[in-house]
Amino acid sequence: MAEITLEQFEADARSFLEANAPRKDSEKKFVWGEGPDKVAVFEEKDRETELADVARACEWRRTKFDAGFGWITGPAQYGGAGLTNAHERAYLRLEAQYDIPSQSPFTIGLGMVAPTILAHASDAAKDLYLTKMYRADLVGCQLFSEPGAGSDLASLQTKAERDGDEWVLTGQKVWTTGAQFSDIGEVIARTDVDQPKHKGLTGFIVDMHAPGVEVRPLRQMTGGASFNEVFFNEVRIRDDHRLGDVNNGWNVALTTLMNERAAIGAGGGGGGGINMYTRVIEMVRHFGLDTDPLIRNELANLLIHQKVAGYNNQRAMDKIKAGQLPGPEMSIAKLAGTLNSLRLCDFVSKVLGPKLIADNGEWGTYAWSALVLGTPGGRIAGGSDEVMRNIVGERVLGLPKDLGIDSKSPFKDLKVGTQKD
């Protein structure tokens, strides 16, 4: 697709979509009481349904990759089209008009892991994985957090020990999204306990089907199991699957984390495909509260905060797409996203009252409880709110660093995780 004008590209993309996917009914508007009554942060499905949805997502991704639309801005040597961000935006704008399978199984693999592989992996690993990931022959996950190292990621204790041309990985990760259907994972491990905690880390690509890898589901208070804990028992990784230099894993992790925070900050989700705020507005109308001045004022504030966050997200993403390193904008985006979700839950709780906690069969009431129960997790995922505020305070406001962070002592001397005893 080299040397193609935007106009010709859009014409080709429209022809491809017309031939391979049905158009959405653009005239259909949200009507209170009709359609799926689902409002949740995370889709919660049984295993059989989930695997079927992943299979449909992969099939669509392969179809558009083979047609040249699977990695529009990617390098040609890895199957990309080598076009501009403007071409990508044009395609996504067109694709949104068609009814295609949800692409959520690739949010982490393509939004966070693949860009890290492109930036830090060996040529052998890039050749092996990038084309397969963007074609959905492989699905990726991220393996960072641990029971004793969540927001303070640099305190992680999963270790990787060198053994010739291989590394032996041992430890536990937690809150891993999509591990149950992923083929590979990006893992950060401790490779030198004599270095300060930020400097003794190394990134790797691990085969999720390798001997010694065990994935267990984590049950949430919503009743679902969208996350997993993953155990590594002497899992062997080839050295050419290392990401970046030995003991430079912190910089590798930052590449991934900033993209993760951008994804979380972008918000959305829930509502059975309906814009969440459209549903809220119709809920207010349904219960006859659209003339209440206090409710109208709170609803206006919700929409204003969401709009401002959207502008900040766009500025941050434009910076990334321009090839610049992501900065504290991602932390602001993530923090704003979770705060907006909390504001939304508070507003819904005020409008619904007891209807939120008692399932009496009324459409559009109890369903919101899934969102209310799932939202607190957003304050932790991708870095806690407290860590995000520290980053903004230090890097934007110029405030002094947190005195509790020891970035000089050898990791083996720190009282963290299981080393506290």
| Model pLDDT, residue 262 | 53
| Model pLDDT, residue 136 | 97
Mean pLDDT, residues 202-224: 92
Question: Do residues 242 and 261 both lie within one domain?
Answer: no
- Are 347 and 280 spatial neighbours (Cβ–Cβ below 8 Å)? yes
- Are 155 and 417 spatial neighbours (Cβ–Cβ below 8 Å)? yes
Instruction: Read off the pLDDT band of 276 (50, 70, 90).
Output: confident
Among residues 230, 247, 264, which one ends one of the domains? Answer: 247
The residue with greater pLDDT, 151 or 393, is 393
Domain housing 306 = 254-395
Entry pTM: 0.82
> How many percent of the chain have pLDDT more than 70?
91
Mean pLDDT, residues 252-277: 61
- Are 249 and 202 spatial neighbours (Cβ–Cβ below 8 Å)? yes
Question: Do residues 232 and 259 both lie within one domain?
Answer: no
Top mean-pLDDT range of 104-108, 228-232, 336-340: 228-232
Does some domain include residue 65?
no
pLDDT in tens, 312-328: 877 776 766 666 666 67
Instruction: Read off the pLDDT band of 265 (50, 70, 90).
Output: very low
| Model pLDDT, residue 267 | 45
Q: What distance lies between CA 64 and its chain's CA centroid?
A: 22
| Model pLDDT, residue 263 | 54
Instruction: Read off the pLDDT band of 59 (50, 70, 90).
Output: very high
Mean pLDDT, residues 246-270: 71
Question: Do residues 239 and 258 both lie within one domain?
Answer: no
Question: Do residues 150 and 223 both lie within one domain?
Answer: yes
The residue with greater pLDDT, 228 or 320, is 228
pLDDT in tens, 13-43: 999 999 999 998 765 678 898 888 888 777 7
Does some domain include residue 145?
yes
The residue with greater pLDDT, 271 or 303, is 303
Question: Do residues 374 and 314 both lie within one domain?
Answer: yes
The 3-state secondary structure of the chain reads CCCCCHHHHHHHHHHHHHHHCCECCCCCCCCCCCCCCCCCCCCCCCHHHHHHHHHHHHHHHHHHHHCCCCCCCCCHHHCCCCCCHHHHHHHHHHHCCECCCCCHHHHHHHHHHHHHHHHHECHHHHHHHHHHHHCCCCCEEEECCECCECCCHHHCCCEEEEECCEEEEEEEEEEEECHHHCCEEEEEEECCCCCECCCCEEEEEEECCCCCEEEEEECCCCCCCCEEEEEEEEEEEEHHHEECCCCCHHHHHHHHHHHHHHHHHHCCCCHHHCCHHHHHHHHHHHCCCCCCHHHHHHHHHHHHHHHHHHHHHHHHHHHHHCCCCCCCHHHHHHHHHHHHHHHHHHHHHHHHHHHHCCCCCCCCCHHHHHHHHHHHHHHCCCCCHHHHHHHHHHHCCCCCCCCCCCCCCEHHHCCCHHHHC
The amino acid that residue 209 corresponds to is H
Does some domain include residue 155?
yes
| Model pLDDT, residue 143 | 96
Does some domain include residue 114?
no
The residue with greater pLDDT, 272 or 66, is 66
Distance CA 349, CA 368 (A): 9
Mean pLDDT score of the chain: 88
Question: Do residues 265 and 359 both lie within one domain?
Answer: yes
Among residues 189, 223, 247, which one ends one of the domains? Answer: 247
Question: Do residues 262 and 386 both lie within one domain?
Answer: yes
Question: Do residues 174 and 307 both lie within one domain?
Answer: no
Mean pLDDT, residues 231-249: 97
> How many percent of the chain have pLDDT more than 90?
61
Does some domain include residue 166?
yes
Count of domains observed in the chain:
2
Question: Do residues 259 and 240 both lie within one domain?
Answer: no
Does some domain include residue 54?
no
The residue with greater pLDDT, 386 or 287, is 287
| Model pLDDT, residue 193 | 95
Mean pLDDT, residues 170-182: 95
Does some domain include residue 37?
no
Does some domain include residue 337?
yes
Question: Do residues 298 and 355 both lie within one domain?
Answer: yes
Among residues 203, 232, 247, which one ends one of the domains? Answer: 247
Question: Do residues 243 and 269 both lie within one domain?
Answer: no
Question: Do residues 330 and 363 both lie within one domain?
Answer: yes
The residue with greater pLDDT, 104 or 129, is 129
| Model pLDDT, residue 44 | 74
| Model pLDDT, residue 37 | 86
Tell whether the model's pLDDT for residue 51 goes beyond 90.
yes
Catalytic sites, residue numbers: 260
Q: For residue 232, what is the domain's CATH number?
A: 2.40.110.10
Instruction: Read off the pLDDT band of 245 (50, 70, 90).
Output: very high
pLDDT in tens, 63-96: 999 999 999 999 999 999 999 988 998 999 999 9
Q: For residue 273, what is the domain's CATH number?
A: 1.20.140.10
Distance CA 2, CA 98 (A): 25
